[in-house]
């Protein structure tokens, strides 16, 4: 049985410019514990839209899991600003807690 990331790898191979496919693959890889593998895909997704909060949150978590604290802080700060400006209270709380660990 194919893993979730295998399914999204097929989509990315077919349309590597699609940020939603990149986000989905990054999310699947993160869920599977492949933090380093998720980084590229989540970076592409985050860079595709300046107001897309979720790939920034997941990218920050990947950076934290990879012990890249400086990178994590920068992207989590961006995600927090988006959460506040967009009125997302739960992500805001989660982001403040993550940032407090840095």
CA-nearest of 52, 53, 63 to 30 is 63
Q: Tokens 């869920």 sit at which residue?
A: 31
Instruction: Note whether 65 and 36 are within 8 A (CB).
Output: no
Q: What is the tally of structural domains in the chain?
A: 1
Q: What is the pLDDT of residues 46-74, one digit of tens each?
A: 999 999 999 999 999 999 999 999 999 99
Task: Compute φ and ψ for 26, nearest 5 degrees.
Answer: -60, -45
Angle (CA) 82 53 65, round 5°: 115
Rounded to two decimals, the pTM is: 0.93
- Full residue range of the structural domain in which residue 27 is found: 4-100
Instruction: Note whether 33 and 65 are within 8 A (CB).
Output: no
Which CATH number do you get for residue 85?
A: 1.25.40.10
Q: What is the pLDDT of residues 7-56, one digit of tens each?
A: 999 999 999 999 999 999 999 999 999 999 999 999 999 999 999 999 99
List Cβ neighbours of 72 (8 Å cut-off, separation of 6 or more): 60, 61, 63, 64, 98, 102
């Amino acid at each position: 049985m194919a893993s979730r990331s295998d399914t999204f790898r097929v989509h990315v191979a077919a349309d590597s410019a699609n940020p939603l496919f990149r986000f989905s693959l990054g999310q699947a890889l993160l869920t599977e514990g492949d933090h380093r593998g998720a980084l590229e895909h989540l970076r592409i997704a985050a860079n595709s839209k300046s107001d897309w909060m979720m790939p920034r949150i997941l990218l920050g978590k990947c950076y934290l899991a990879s012990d890249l604290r400086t990178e994590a802080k920068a992207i989590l700060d961006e995600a927090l600003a988006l959460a506040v400006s967009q009125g997302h209270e739960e992500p805001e709380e989660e982001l403040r807690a993550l940032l407090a660990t840095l």
